[in-house]
């Protein structure tokens, strides 16, 4: 086994001037908790409001104001912990993480440090047909900061505190990721899980999901190298680019005889480079201590179990069910479950029908068309009911697969009941053998030389089938045509 594992080529390695290098990545994903109000105040979390319109006295850190924990945010963190197959801690503690910044009126962020609400867990990812389990170190709850605005006035900076105090879940992975591709698959999977659970919308465009990316490089099997942390990367594509760029920078320095300094860096997508932001703080720089305004958070085992029992079906479970119950390939199932809305649509189409046929139509025709038009499933002009009806017409032999594609186009652009369209436009498949025989005879008579050749070379029969299908406007039943052509040719 060991020899086999060793001889297996590791395609994640990066070739440097001085041999191969391995990338080690750990991610801290910050996901905004789906909740109407903030973590410790009743202010709204609504996006896009007038600056500083969602700010309570607590969020503005007025003297004497006391934080009060939002129970829904706690429940969301516990649900997420379950979704990450993680241990839930019945006892956790909120700490103050002290630092000074204009968008942080308290002068500290309320976070969790040594005793987070969620402990070790794991997430499964699929990359290039290989399944890997990525460890979760912990998940903690913390407050988001406000936003500094520097581009409104040449002499002033502004602060918008609408985001200040909004609940975040920070999900910290183990350094188990070995390539940019794996890191992208991991963030995508975490986002899928959050969306299934309804615990975060994972919307990266709104900044509701962002990642701090820790990157180091080492010789395969060697000691871990010094890592650099790239802050606040806000798209899946940029996460991949930031990792590859940073790894190549580190390799070049080490191969030049230099050393990596631990630091915090920024990724600049326009230049596709990472830049030094500040030397990395250690935990002790933040002077963490338990927040004296908040009691330790205690939740009962019963509460934890009740939230677990009420979880929806999770992406991995759904994928396994699509494979075992509906006979789909693991790949097709993974495509269908990636977004919950897509999976729901597929299930509505597949209900009471052939699962594989439904999957083919949903993935190839529908998703293909939606992608081309840049549309989401919620914008689909073809409803699950309409697509199901089209599939029924194929299954019962009323229309051929080819005509079904034309029918799909008509329903896409004009709407309407598929069966009624088939009726009104004469799109029914011709299975009447008499009519098909007549067309076959005409085609054979028009091509006597080819017919002679086909008698000696049965492969050529396919050409006649094509001609007959064409002559019938695609409406002849291809199986019947094939049978009759072969019978007439005697092959």
Q: What residue ranges bind Mn ion (CB under 5 A)?
A: 170
Q: How far is the CB of 244 from Mn ion (least distance, A)?
A: 24
Burial classification of residue 149, based on how many CB atoms lie within 10 Å of its CB (0-12 exposed, 13-18 middle, 19 or more buried):
middle
| Structure tokens given for 323 | 């494979």
Task: Please tell me the number of Cα atoms within 13 Å of 26 on its side-chain side.
Answer: 18
SS3 content of the chain, % helix, strand, coil (to 5): 40, 20, 35
Among candidate residues 326, 311, 328, 472, the one with its CA nearest the CA of residue 400 = 472
Q: How far is the CB of 389 from Mn ion (least distance, A)?
A: 50
Q: How far is the CB of 170 from Mn ion (least distance, A)?
A: 4
Q: Which is nearer to Mn ion, 31 or 411 (CB)?
A: 31
Q: Which is nearer to Mn ion, 118 or 326 (CB)?
A: 118
The DSSP 8-state label assigned to residue 382 in this structure reads S
Q: How far is the CB of 70 from Mn ion (least distance, A)?
A: 18
Q: Which is nearer to Mn ion, 31 or 161 (CB)?
A: 31
Q: Which is nearer to Mn ion, 25 or 110 (CB)?
A: 110
CA distance linking residue 300 with residue 280, whole number of Å: 38
CA distance linking residue 185 with residue 240, whole number of Å: 10
Task: Please tell me the number of Cα atoms within 13 Å of 326 on its side-chain side.
Answer: 28
Q: Phi and psi (nearest 5°) for 434?
A: -60, -50
Q: Which is nearer to Mn ion, 27 or 242 (CB)?
A: 27
Task: Please tell me the number of Cα atoms within 13 Å of 440 on its side-chain side.
Answer: 22
Burial classification of residue 209, based on how many CB atoms lie within 10 Å of its CB (0-12 exposed, 13-18 middle, 19 or more buried):
buried
Q: Which is nearer to Mn ion, 97 or 178 (CB)?
A: 97
CA distance linking residue 157 with residue 153, whole number of Å: 7
Among candidate residues 183, 250, 220, the one with its CA nearest the CA of residue 10 = 220
- CA distances for 105 relative to 112, 147, 160, 165, 314, angstroms: 19, 11, 11, 10, 39
The tokens 């309320």 sit on which residue?
A: 110
Q: How far is the CB of 365 from Mn ion (least distance, A)?
A: 43
Q: Which is nearer to Mn ion, 113 or 303 (CB)?
A: 113
Q: Which is nearer to Mn ion, 126 or 170 (CB)?
A: 170
Which residues sit opposite 73 in a β-bridge? none
Q: How far is the CB of 172 from Mn ion (least distance, A)?
A: 9
Alpha helices by DSSP H, 41-173: 71-83
Residues counted in the chain: 491
Q: Which is nearer to Mn ion, 170 or 483 (CB)?
A: 170
CA distance linking residue 290 with residue 115, whole number of Å: 10
Radius of gyration of the chain (CA): 30
Q: How far is the CB of 30 from Mn ion (least distance, A)?
A: 6
Q: Which is nearer to Mn ion, 167 or 314 (CB)?
A: 167
| Structure tokens given for 12 | 């994640």
Position closest to Mn ion via CB: 170
| Structure tokens given for 418 | 């598929």
Q: How far is the CB of 213 from Mn ion (least distance, A)?
A: 13
Q: Which is nearer to Mn ion, 84 or 254 (CB)?
A: 84
Q: How far is the CB of 108 from Mn ion (least distance, A)?
A: 13
End-to-end CA distance of the chain: 53
Q: How far is the CB of 111 from Mn ion (least distance, A)?
A: 6
Q: How far is the CB of 130 from Mn ion (least distance, A)?
A: 31
């Amino acid at each position: 086994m060991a020899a086999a594992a060793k001889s297996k080529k590791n395609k994640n390695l990066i070739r440097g001037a001085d041999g191969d290098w391995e990338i080690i990545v750990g991610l801290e994903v910050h996901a905004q908790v789906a909740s109407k109000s903030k973590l410790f105040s009743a202010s709204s979390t609504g996006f896009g409001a007038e600056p500083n319109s969602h700010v309570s006295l607590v969020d503005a850190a007025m003297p004497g104001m006391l934080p009060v924990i939002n129970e829904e945010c706690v429940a969301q963190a516990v649900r997420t912990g379950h979704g990450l197959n993680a241990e839930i801690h019945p006892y956790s503690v909120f700490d103050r993480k002290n630092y000074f910044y204009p968008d942080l009126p308290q002068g500290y962020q309320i976070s969790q440090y040594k005793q987070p609400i969620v402990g070790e867990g794991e997430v499964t990812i699929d990359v290039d047909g290989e399944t890997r389990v990525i460890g979760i170190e912990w998940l903690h709850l913390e407050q988001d900061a406000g936003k500094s605005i520097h581009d409104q006035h040449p002499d002033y900076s502004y602060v918008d505190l609408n985001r200040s105090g909004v609940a975040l879940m920070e999900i910290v992975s183990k350094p188990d990721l070995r390539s940019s591709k794996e890191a992208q698959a991991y963030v995508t999977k975490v986002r899928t899980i959050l969306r299934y659970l309804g615990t975060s919308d994972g919307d990266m465009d709104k900044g509701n999901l962002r990642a701090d990316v820790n990157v180091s490089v080492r010789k395969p099997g060697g000691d871990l190298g010094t890592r650099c942390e790239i802050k606040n990367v806000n798209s899946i594509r940029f996460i991949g680019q930031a990792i590859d760029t940073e790894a190549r920078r580190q390799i070049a320095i080490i191969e030049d005889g230099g050393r990596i300094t631990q630091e915090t860096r920024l990724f600049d997508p326009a230049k596709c480079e990472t830049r030094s932001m500040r030397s990395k703080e250690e935990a002790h720089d933040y002077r963490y201590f338990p927040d004296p305004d908040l009691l330790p958070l205690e939740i009962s085992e019963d509460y934890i179990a009740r939230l677990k029992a009420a979880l929806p079906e999770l992406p991995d479970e759904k994928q396994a069910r699509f494979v075992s119950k509906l006979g789909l390939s693991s790949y097709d199932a993974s495509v269908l479950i990636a977004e919950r809305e897509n999976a729901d649509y597929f299930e509505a189409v597949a209900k009471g029908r052939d699962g594989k046929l439904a999957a083919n139509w949903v993935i190839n025709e529908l998703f293909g068309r939606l992608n081309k038009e840049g549309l989401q499933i919620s914008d689909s002009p073809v409803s699950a009911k309409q697509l199901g009806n089209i599939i029924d017409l194929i299954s019962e032999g009323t229309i051929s697969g080819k005509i079904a594609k034309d029918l799909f186009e008509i329903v896409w652009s004009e709407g309407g009941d598929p069966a009624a369209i088939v009726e009104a436009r004469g799109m029914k498949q011709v299975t009447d053998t008499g009519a098909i025989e007549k067309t076959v005879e005409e085609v054979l008579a028009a091509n006597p030389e080819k017919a002679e050749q086909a008698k000696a070379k049965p492969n050529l029969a396919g050409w006649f089938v094509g001609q007959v299908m064409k002559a019938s406007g695609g409406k002849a039943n291809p199986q019947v045509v094939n049978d009759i052509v072969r019978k007439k040719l005697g092959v």
